[in-house]
Amino acid sequence: MSENNRKAHLNVFLRATGHHAGAWRHADSKPELELDIEYLAQLAQLAERGKLDSVFLADGYAGGGSKLEPFTLLSALASVTKHIGLIATVGTVYNEPFHVARQFASLDHISGGRAGWNIVTGAGSAAHNFGLDEHPEHAQRYETGEEFVEVVKQLWDSWEDDALIYDKKNGRLTEQGKVHEINFNGHTYSVKGPLNIPRPPQGYPVLVQAGSSEAGKELAAKTAEVIFTAQQTFEAGREFYTDVKSRLAKYGRTADELVILPGLAPIVADTEAEARDIEAELHAYVDTKRALRNLSERFTVDLSDYDLDDPVPLDKAKPSEEFNGIRSRQEAVLDPARRDESFTIRQLLYRNNGGHGHITFTGSVLQTADFIEKWIRNYAADGFNILPQLVPTGLEAFIDKVIPELQNRGLFRTEYEGATLRESLGLKRPANVRHLQRQ
Ligand SMILES: Cc1cc2nc3c(=O)[nH]c(=O)nc-3n(C[C@H](O)[C@H](O)[C@H](O)COP(=O)(O)O)c2cc1C
DSSP secondary structure, 383-428, as one string: EEEE--SSTTHHHHHIIIIIHHHHHHTT-S-SS-SSSSHHHHHTPP
**Which is higher by pLDDT, 345 or 50?**
50
Q: For residue 38, which phi and psi values (nearest 5 degrees)? A: -65, -40
User: What burial class does residue 436 get, using C-beta atoms within 10 Å of its C-beta: 0-12 exposed, 13-18 middle, 19+ buried?
Assistant: exposed
Q: Specify the pLDDT at position 180.
A: 96
Task: Name the residue type at position 374.
Answer: K
Q: How far is the CA of 122 from the centre of ligand 1 (A)?
A: 7
Q: For residue 57, which phi and psi values (nearest 5 degrees)? A: -115, 120
- Locate the ligand 1 atom nearest the alpha carbon of residue 59 and give its number: 8
Cα distance between residue 438 and residue 434, in whole Å: 6
Rounded average pLDDT over 119-131: 84
Q: Specify the pLDDT at position 323.
A: 60
Q: How far is the CA of 20 from the centre of ligand 1 (A)?
A: 18
- Locate the ligand 1 atom nearest the alpha carbon of residue 216 and give its number: 26
User: Measuring CA to CA, which residue among 401, 406, 426, 428 is closest to residue 416?
Assistant: 426
How many H-runs (helices) and E-runs (strands) does the chain carry?
A: 15, 13
Q: How far is the CA of 216 from the centre of ligand 1 (A)?
A: 10
pLDDT tens digits for range 73-89: 999 999 999 999 999 99
User: Measuring CA to CA, which residue among 108, 102, 199 is closest to residue 157?
Assistant: 199
Question: Predicted confidence band at 123 (pLDDT cuts at 50, 70, 90)?
Answer: low
- Locate the ligand 1 atom nearest the alpha carbon of residue 13 and give its number: 1
- Locate the ligand 1 atom nearest the alpha carbon of residue 91 and give its number: 11
Rounded average pLDDT over 115-141: 87
DSSP string, 291-312: HHHHHHHHHTS-GGGS-TTSBP
Of 89, 92, 120, 243, the residue with max ligand 1 atoms within 8 A of its CB, to mutate for a pocket test, comes to 120
**Which is higher by pLDDT, 211 or 368?**
368
User: Measuring CA to CA, which residue among 302, 297, 353 is closest to residue 325?
Assistant: 297
Of 54, 118, 140, the residue with max ligand 1 atoms within 8 A of its CB, to mutate for a pocket test, comes to 118
Cα distance between residue 434 and residue 206, in whole Å: 19
- Locate the ligand 1 atom nearest the alpha carbon of residue 215 and give its number: 26
pTM: 0.94
Q: Specify the pLDDT at position 408.
A: 97
Cα distance between residue 434 and residue 194, in whole Å: 13
Rounded average pLDDT over 138-159: 94
Instruction: Please say whether the beta carbons of 377 and 3 come within 8 A.
Output: yes
Cα distance between residue 94 and residue 85, in whole Å: 25
Atom 23, ligand 1: which residue's CA is nearest? 211
Q: Taking CB atoms and a 6 Å cutoff, what residues make up the pocket around ligand 1?
A: 58-60, 89, 91, 120-124, 210-213, 215-216, 228-230, 263, 326-328, 385
Task: Name the residue type at position 137.
Answer: E
* Strands 9-13 and 54-57, sheet pairing: parallel
Atom 10, ligand 1: which residue's CA is nearest? 122
**Which is higher by pLDDT, 205 or 435?**
205
Of the chain, the percentage scoring pLDDT greater than 90 comes to 74
- Locate the ligand 1 atom nearest the alpha carbon of residue 357 and give its number: 31
Q: Please give the angle made by the CA atoms of 25, 78 and 53, to the nearest 5 degrees.
A: 75
Cα distance between residue 428 and residue 439, in whole Å: 19
Q: Specify the pLDDT at position 1.
A: 47
